[in-house]
Chains A and B, each alone.
Chain A
């Protein structure tokens, strides 16, 4: 698969390349300035930033310059950590990417961060996006300028990449904008739902349907490299785990399963070499592992209770899962080889769908208590539990690749009840509905694309 575009640090790009575009600027002073948001502290006041429309270097790139600037602003605003100053408040505009910034004009409108950029087209018709980030009050550039080059139709990804860079420089965390979400698109009345496997950019753009609505499909999971999905489908007549290659939209059953048995709730190992999932045999559900290379199959739990929703730790050594062995659903952690499990959930109600954070520090889960559902996070030993949401039905968290935000399904009550995707950050702030073309459920957040 070809990389749709490449990124080049402006400061280290060859002189020839820069000269060819007529942009010569002094190499930026790489620094980590005082301008920094500490996400873990729970931000009360979003950081104000200005992102004047990127300079279009030709008429042909005018639309792209507008669109790219708009998407960058939306990405940053959507985190809840940043507040965009409207262009109507601007004192000066940026008409030349290379000109010195008039910091006083941006200080006067209290912009703490300033993002400037330009959009041009190179000789082979590719879009060239350059940007710089400034700390307005210290009058310093933050990090080096960067240049992205790609096909014109990859402008959204280039915008997300600029926003990811800005986010990373201002928070110290990697971003999550150049990502996709696999989900189940739903239509029809509640007692005759049609479900399709779908994929989109994290912000709801570029929706693509991967299956038709003839077969019930559930709960897709991105492979660690973002190229494949595991999901559950009834297309054979019985629920089975399937594996789909996203680029070619080809699918196959993960493995042959005895008639009458059900396989579901799959997840990848962090290296993509193994799949852990549930299989039901004669009414009893346990957890199994399949080695994709050798086809070897291992049974990890052996109990008369329901064991399901397994999820690997990012080091691949442990698996968190849910079980009702105590009498109701609770969360347990065991070695990735199976064996003794220790219970980690200890609060009120039932606990399900645990998912290990990609950073390794937290487990996200669904909690059901007194007729309400919550998405929550806890440390991997079960301590410091925090419930982030509350509603009639919230379930199935999926982590953003930076481990700071989770996306989940929220379903409303009643005969007109409908599912939608929401995201919330791990402090419980910034609950947002995720744009989808219609009803949607079971989100799986991709890794950052390369």
Chain B
């Protein structure tokens, strides 16, 4: 009994470490889209910087398996994105929809498009002008995390709002 307990607590510890690692890598992944800003932390402190958008507002929402419905935490992130975009009118967003590798290529392209569109519709419903939002699907072609289990899959089922200068796209 006690040994069983010990094993299960060790498993729990390992899971926690994995989750942290995945989280850390996710943040690094978000870094690819901060090139506009360029000066790391200093930029991220400036609320009107894309780095602030990526790191503080949150540039992405995650989805359940084979779903494109926005979860409550996703909607909260998108409320923040909408507010930021309304405040910083010189920026536009390209919304990239992605899927995990558990699916056929064509279906995942269509699923990624659904996810991107769900984000686009939500941002429009929060007042962001449609001409500042564009979507693209990468299906399963651009995984952020590359292990083949749920810890990675959940990070890959995402829609990422990539900020660029330009009011109309």
Interface residues of A in 330-368 (CB under 8 A from B): 352-353, 366, 368
- Contact partner, B104, options A190, A238, A352, Cβ 8 Å: A352
Asked if A260 meets B134 with Cβ closer than 8 Å, knowing A216-B141, A392-B148, the reply is yes
Question: Whose C-beta in chain A lies nearest to the C-beta of B119?
Answer: A283
Say whether A262 contacts B107, CB under 8 Å.
no
Closest to A394 in B: B104
* Interface assignment of A168: CB less than 8 Å from any CB of chain B: no
> Which residues on the B side are within 8 Å of A219 (C-beta)?
105-106
Please state if A189 and B146 are interface contacts (CB–CB under 8 Å).
yes
A283 in contact with B118 (CB, 8 Å) = yes
A415 CA / B117 CA spacing, docked (Å): 29
Give the residue of A238, A322, A329, A414 whose beta carbon is less than 8 angstroms from that of B136: A238
Q: Does A264 contact B136, Cβ atoms closer than 8 Å? A: no
Residue of B nearest to A367 (CB): B104
Of chain A, the residue at the smallest CB distance from B169 is: A259
Cα–Cα, bound, A352→B108 (Å): 11
Known: A239-B136, A308-B110, A392-B148. A190 touches B143 (CB 8 A): yes
Q: Is the CB of B146 within 8 A of A285?
A: no
> What 0/1 pattern do residues 95 to 123 of B give for CB contact below 8 A with A?
00000011111110111011011101100
Given A259-B134, A283-B114, A283-B135, are A306 and B146 neighbors across the interface (CB < 8 Å)?
A: no
Q: Which of A213-249 contact B (CB under 8 A)?
A: 216, 218-219, 237-239
Q: Counting CB contacts under 8 A, is B15 at the interface?
A: no
A318 vs chain B, min Cβ distance (A): 19
As a 0/1 sequence over residues 142 to 156 of chain A, the CB contacts with chain B under 8 angstroms (1 = contact) are: 000000000000000
B121-145 interface mask toward A, CB cutoff 8 Å, 1 = contact, 0 = none?
A: 1000000000000111110011111
> How close is B122's CB to chain A, nearest CB, in angstroms?
12
Given A239-B136, A414-B148, A417-B146, answer yes or no on A396-B105 (Cβ-Cβ < 8 Å). Answer: yes
CA distance A371 to B149 in the complex (A): 10
B66, CB-defined interface residue at 8 Å: yes
Please name all residues of chain A whose beta carbon is closer than 8 Å to the beta carbon of B110 when the two chains form the complex.
278, 280, 285, 306, 308
Kindly name the residue among A260, A280, A283, A396 whose own CB sees the greatest number of chain B CB atoms within 10 A: A283
How many residue pairs bridge A and B at CB < 8 Å?
A: 100
Interface of B, secondary structure class, is mixed
Among residues of B, the one whose C-beta sits closest to the C-beta of A190 is B146
A193 on interface, CB distance cutoff 8 Å:
yes
A306 contacts B107, CB within 8 Å?
Answer: yes
A219 to B135, CA, bound (A): 21
Question: Any chain B CB within 8 A of the CB of A265?
Answer: yes
On chain B, the residues within 8 Å of A353 by CB distance are 104-106
Within the complex, the shortest CB–CB distance from A350 to chain B, in Å, comes to 8
Once the chains bind, are B104 and A239 in contact (CB under 8 Å)? no
Closest to A322 in B: B107
Answer whether A239 and B106 are a contact pair too, CB < 8 Å, given A413-B148, A414-B148, A415-B147.
no
Q: Is the CB of B105 within 8 A of A393?
A: no
B residues in contact with A293, CB < 8 Å: none
Cβ-defined contact, A306 with B66, below 8 A: no
B141: which A residues are within 8 A, CB to CB?
Answer: 193, 216, 218
Nearest CB in chain B: distance from A402 CB, A: 25
- Which residue of A has the minimal Cβ distance to B145? A191
Q: Size band of the A side of the interface? A: 35 or more
Q: Assess whether A328 is interfacial by the CB under 8 Å rule.
A: yes
Q: Does A47 contact B (CB under 8 A)?
A: no
CB-CB under 8 A for A278 and B106, given A414-B148, A415-B147: yes
CB B123 to nearest CB in A, in angstroms, measures 13
**A395 near B: Cβ within 8 Å?**
yes
CB-based contact B146/A262 at 8 Å: no
A442 near B105 with CB under 8 A, answer: yes
Contacts of A308 in B (CB 8 A): 106-107, 109-110
Q: Is the CB of A191 within 8 A of B146?
A: yes
CB of A262 within 8 A of CB of B106, answer no
CA distance A382 to B150 in the complex (A): 32
Do B104 and A366 have beta carbons less than 8 Å apart? yes
Kindly list chain A residues whose C-beta atoms are within 8 Å of the C-beta of B143: 190-191
Q: Which residue of B lies closest to A324 (CB)?
A: B107
Inter-chain CA distance A190–B137, complex, in Å, is: 18
A interface residue numbers (CB < 8 A to B): 189-191, 193, 216, 218-219, 237-239, 259-260, 262, 264-265, 278, 280, 282-285, 306, 308-309, 322, 324, 328-329, 352-353, 366, 368, 371, 392-393, 395-396, 411, 413-415, 417, 442
17 A-B pairs in the complex with CB atoms less than 8 angstroms apart: A191-B144, A260-B134, A262-B136, A278-B106, A280-B113, A283-B117, A283-B120, A283-B135, A284-B117, A329-B104, A329-B107, A353-B104, A368-B103, A371-B102, A393-B102, A396-B105, A415-B146
Interface residues of chain B, those whose CB is within 8 Å of chain A, are: 66, 68, 101-107, 109-111, 113-114, 116-118, 120-121, 134-138, 141-148
A239-B136, A265-B106, A283-B68 given; 19 more Cβ-contact pairs under 8 Å: A191-B143, A219-B106, A238-B136, A282-B117, A283-B114, A283-B118, A283-B120, A285-B113, A285-B114, A308-B110, A324-B107, A352-B107, A368-B102, A368-B104, A371-B102, A393-B101, A414-B148, A415-B147, A417-B101
